[in-house]
Amino acid sequence: MPQIFNIILTTIAPIVLVAGFGALLDKTKLLDARSISRVAIYLTTPALAFYGIANSTLKNGELGRLILFFLLSTITITVLAWLVTIWFKMNRLTASAFIMSVGLINLANYGIPLNEFSFGQLGLERAIIIAVLGNIYANTAGVFVASWGQASIIQALKNVAKVPTPYAAILGLVVNQGYFSMPSLVMRIAGILQGAAIPLMLIMLGIQISRVSLKGQWSVIFGASAMRLLGGAAVGIAVSFLLGLEGVTGQVAIVQASMPTAVIAVIIATEFESDAKLTSSIILVSTLFSVLTLSVLLSFLM
């Protein structure tokens, strides 16, 4: 028990408090949330993806297994969520919100800082890989669906193409593999920008959480939250064992699979005419309960 309290104070509390500052400033209207979001999306997050992957010590085999882990764990938990909606005979609107809330994971603005605080630089490198994969998924299928609600197919595809993080990740991989040497000036600039990424992620997390509401069907809200947190952890442990992930790589993979619902889920729910209020409630509840579930999980992993 003392170890759990120590993890809460040294690892979880800094994340919650910085996010709380973002939420507080948002309530006082002192922040231009859209400008902060744009800086994070178009500047600091791509810099973090590029710099982190370019300087990563991951070997090709380990990188491949992390990619496979992401695919298997994401597909597995999404299929399980779909089966649950069938078993409980949820209507189409509720089922879509349930599946999205379980399948879309907060890998970046919560997962990256948590893994860095927990496992240091090695944890950061591996968390970035999984977060970039989640970012690519969200910014292809997610952005496309969100944009399609108000724009043509062509415009939706253009919006997908505008998101720079996937390109930055690919460029970082090219540099990491020695196919291209980046000038030291560019690397130093990227190093400065990536240092601002995590603070902005946490501030944006606070802003986003402060704007979600707690409304909907309580059984579905807690069911989806439990499946995202506990089911995600169980799937993460199983897939990690199946792929033979060990050490920090296995720890980070399991933690990332156990994160709460991503805020982008409510954006997709709104634009795709799913149940945005229900999705918003699941995001809030899963994020709040993740303080406890992740603390317990980390006490076993560390």
Q: What is the DSSP letter of 1?
A: -
- Which pLDDT score, from 0 to 100, does residue 145 have? 40
User: What amino acid occupies position 135?
Assistant: N
User: Per-residue confidence of the chain (302 residues) as pLDDT tens digits?
Assistant: 557 788 888 888 888 898 889 888 888 877 777 788 788 888 998 998 899 889 888 887 888 999 999 999 998 998 999 899 999 999 877 888 888 889 889 998 899 999 999 999 899 989 989 998 887 776 665 555 444 344 455 655 666 677 788 889 889 989 988 888 889 999 999 999 998 888 888 888 888 788 777 777 899 999 999 999 999 999 999 999 999 999 999 999 999 999 999 887 776 666 556 677 888 899 999 999 999 999 999 999 97
State the first-to-last Cα distance of the chain, in angstroms, to the nearest integer: 14
Domain ranges of the chain: 2-301
Q: Which residues pair with 261 in a beta bridge?
A: 105
Confidence (pTM): 0.85
Q: Which whole-number Å values give the CA distances from 204 to 94, 108, 131, 264, in the listed order?
A: 27, 11, 16, 12
Radius of gyration for the alpha carbons in the chain, expressed in angstroms and rounded: 18
Residues contacting 7, CB < 8 A, separation 6+: 295, 298, 299, 302
Contact (CB, 8 A) for 209 and 284? yes
Domain 2-301 classification at class level = mainly alpha
What is the DSSP secondary structure assignment for residue 109, as one 8-state letter? T
The C-alpha atoms of residue 104 and residue 101 are separated, in whole angstroms, by 6
Query: What does the pLDDT read at residue 273?
Result: 62
Q: How far apart are CA 158 and CA 168, in angstroms?
A: 17
